[in-house]
């Protein structure tokens, strides 16, 4: 992965936070916004993100300023959110969370997907543990 600049709308979400950390671990520069932060909720989570080098902005569009930023949004982020409007205004690339996740998954030398009705998180955790113990240095996205 290149040193691209990524801006995650909803960076504190349960699916976005780990994805942002994976992108950062692969060399991407991470910034983001989250309405929960703007509302003063879960301050410890956002302090953790800042301590790990994530630049946090209000969800008012002020963090999306350049066309070379890649803006990542989930379905929970409405088109009316100012960050999305700012991305469109500057011509930034907008990707959905599933698009970015599939790019990372498909770019990996070996990928494992776990699907089914029940037990997916448990099996994923077990696979990750085995690969870690075997010194394979897995990148795991669970949940």
Averaged over 68-91, what is the pLDDT?
94
pLDDT of residue 74: 87
Is the predicted pLDDT of residue 2 greater than 80, yes or no? Answer: no
Residue-level pLDDT at 75: 84
The position carrying tokens 């600049």 is 5
Do 23 and 44 lie in a common domain? yes
pLDDT of residue 141: 84
Q: Residue 3's pLDDT is what?
A: 65
Do residue 68 and residue 121 come from a single domain?
A: no
pLDDT at 134: 96
Domain that holds residue 135: 110-143
Place of tokens 């936070």: 17
The answer on 30 and 59 residing in a single domain is yes
pLDDT above 80 for 120: yes
Q: Are 66 and 135 members of one domain?
A: no
Kindly report the backbone phi and psi dihedral angles of residue 84, in degrees, each rounded to the nearest multiple of 5, phi listed first.
-70, -40
Q: Are residues 122 and 91 in the same domain?
A: no
pTM (whole model) above 0.95: no
Mean pLDDT computed over 109-133:
94
Check pLDDT > 90 for residue 55. yes
Same domain, 118 and 98: no
Residue 143: is its pLDDT beyond 80? no
Nearest to 59 by CA among 69, 45, 44, 71: 71
Q: What percent of the chain has pLDDT over 70?
A: 97
Strands 29-33 and 55-57: parallel
pLDDT band at residue 76 using 50, 70 and 90 as cut-offs: confident
What's the pLDDT tens digit per position in 95-119?
999 999 999 999 988 999 999 999 9
Regarding whether 99 and 30 lie in a shared domain, the answer is: yes
| DSSP sequence for the chain | ----EEEEETTTSTTHHHHHHHHHHTT-EEEEE-HHHHTT--HHHHHHHHHTTPEEE-SSSTT---TTEEEEE-TTS-TTSHHHHHHHHHT-EEEEHHHHHHHHHHHSSS-----SSS-HHHHHHHHHHHHHHTT--------
Are 84 and 138 members of one domain? Answer: no
Cα 25 to the center of its chain, rounded Å: 11
């Amino acid at each position: 992965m290149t040193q691209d600049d990524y801006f995650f709308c909803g960076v504190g979400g349960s699916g976005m936070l780990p994805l942002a950390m994976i992108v950062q671990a692969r060399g991407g520069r991470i910034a983001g916004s989250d309405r929960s932060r703007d509302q003063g909720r879960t301050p410890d989570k956002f302090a953790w993100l800042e301590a790990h080098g994530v630049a946090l902005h209000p969800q008012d569009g002020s963090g999306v300023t350049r066309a070379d930023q890649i803006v990542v949004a989930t379905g929970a982020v409405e088109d009316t959110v100012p960050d999305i409007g700012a991305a469109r205004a500057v011509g930034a690339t907008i990707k959905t969370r599933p698009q970015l996740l599939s790019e990372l998954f498909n770019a990996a030398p070996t990928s494992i997907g776990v699907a089914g009705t029940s037990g997916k998180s448990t099996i994923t955790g077990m696979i990750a543990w085995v690969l870690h113990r075997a010194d394979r240095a897995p990148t795991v996205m669970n949940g």
